[in-house]
Amino acid sequence: MQNNPLLNNIAFDIVKDKVIEDKTKQYMEEQEKKEKEEAEKKQGEGLVDLEEIDSEEERIMQKEMEKMRKTAESKREELAKKIKNEKYGSYTEIIETEFLDTMLKNEKVVCHFYHKDFERCKIIDKHLKIIAPEHRETLFVKIDAEKTPFFTAKLNVRVLPTIILFVKGKAIHRFIGFQDFGMNDDFPTINLSRQLVIFKMIQPKTKAEKGEVTIKRGKKDDSDEDDD
């Protein structure tokens, strides 16, 4: 075959175009691959960011929940303290279902077992109403023995009025009737106070409660006592 310049030029152009096409195709494929890899990388990075966001939100939520829990607990404690403070300093009545909680959840309790129709029980009520506001360190309560058959029997309460002293839920002593207060219906409040001091149920606030002052019959229970 003769060497034809025209054919040679055409052949060269065809080959050149083919090479350019191949190179272009290869370039496009490489670019597409690169873009795909970058997209996947970005997507992967995006997932990591989302996980971090979720983790941060979870930490914030846990922190808020812990804060709410502490706030609720604080409010419960404040309410319990308020209820306790309302009971201390007063002489209140409890019922049988409250008995165990009252004795076990309070350090010192003076409990009067009474009968609503007994006059001597009313006399004890009168004195305990005087003592309770002066001695907020101890809880003073009464319970209807007739409506508390289980604990009345369990504690062997046979004579009314009976006052039982509890320390940390344990009965440490009892006063039966008026035998420890002078045996008379008109005994002064100080006689009962002194007995409570002796058994360390209350802290003495006056010389009379300490037993350093003699109380004459007919005097007002507390107004004529000498203070420390």
Per-residue pLDDT tens digits for 97-110: 999 999 999 999 99
- Higher per-residue pLDDT: 48 or 183: 183
Count of domains for the chain: 2
**Same-domain status, 107 and 192:** yes
**Same-domain status, 16 and 105:** no
**Same-domain status, 153 and 102:** yes
**Same-domain status, 99 and 166:** yes
Are 40 and 33 spatial neighbours (Cβ–Cβ below 8 Å)?
no
- Identify the domain containing residue 203 by its residue range: 90-210
Instruction: Report CA-CA distances (Å) from 112 to 125, 136, 147.
Output: 8, 17, 13
Instruction: Please tell me the pTM assigned to this model.
Output: 0.61
Res 82: pLDDT: 58
Nearest alpha carbon to residue 131 among 86, 227, 196: 196
**Same-domain status, 98 and 57:** no
CATH number of domain containing 192: 3.40.30.10
**Same-domain status, 82 and 104:** no
In a domain, 224, yes or no: no
Res 150: pLDDT: 95
In a domain, 228, yes or no: no
C-alpha neighbours within 13 Å on the C-beta side of residue 225: 23
Query: Which residues pair with residue 197 across a beta bridge?
Result: none
Are 188 and 215 spatial neighbours (Cβ–Cβ below 8 Å)?
yes
